[in-house]
Amino acid sequence: MFTNRQKSVILEIAKNAIREAVLNRKIIDRDRLLQQHPWLKEKGAVFVTINEFNSLRGCIGSIIAHQSLIDDIIHNAKSAALHDPRFRPVGRSELNNLEVEVSILTEPKPLLYSDIEDLRNKIKYGVHGVILQYNGYQATYLPSVWEQISTFDEFFSSLCMKAGMSPDCLRLHPNIFVYEAIKVK
């Protein structure tokens, strides 16, 4: 879907957006980038994940494409660096230690299932990102979370708790949506 050159541009935008946020100065020439790479004007939904020394340092993103790809990358990169409520803002001294990953999401699709076993058979481990919704509760895990939580039961138990529900919330038959992600790092 994206060439290596396009992936390089996406990653550079995310890294520069983080630098802009932390250093509080203009680095990205948005107009020039849009002129050179018109595909950045297309709507896109991305998550930006920041790691430092192989530990999560920030991760914020959009599930639904609602703005241009360039704007979603910039917004979510800055938010992951400064506004992830789980972490203190990234500081200047950390900039050289950060690993940045951008996940470009496909449009979420409802996954119809009859029971937990049916869901277990329809979920593609390592491929599907999952959105769980039930009575105003919602949470998502990117496909990359399968790398840390490799079993169906652990994955969904953790996702239920992330949504603020009990670990066995699948018994309530929540709405499940799936999406895929192109990882750029």
CATH no. for residue 113? Answer: 3.30.1490.150
- Residue 178, classed as helix, strand or coil, is strand
Buried b (16+ CB within 10 A) or exposed e, 97-127: ebebbbbbbeebeebebeeeeebeeebeeee
On whether the pTM is more than 0.85, the answer is: yes
pLDDT given at position 182: 95
Sign for the CA dihedral angle at 90, 92, 96, 97 comes to negative
> Do 67 and 117 share a structural domain?
no
DSSP 167: T
Residue 96 exposed, middle or buried by CB count within 10 Å (0-12, 13-18, 19+): exposed
CB 160, CB 170: distance < 8 Å:
yes
> Do 114 and 58 share a structural domain?
no
Q: In the listed set 64, 86, 105, which residue is the last one of a domain according to the structure? A: 105
Q: In the listed set 67, 90, 105, which residue is the last one of a domain according to the structure? A: 105
For residues 46-52, average pLDDT: 97
With 90 as the cut, is the pLDDT of residue 94 above it?
yes
The whole-chain average pLDDT of the chain stands at 97
Q: Which domain holds residue 15?
A: 4-105
Tens digit of pLDDT for each residue in 6-29?
999 999 999 999 999 999 999 999
With 90 as the cut, is the pLDDT of residue 150 above it?
no
With 90 as the cut, is the pLDDT of residue 145 above it?
yes
**Total structural domains within the chain:** 2
> Do 92 and 154 share a structural domain?
no
Percent above pLDDT 90 for the chain = 98
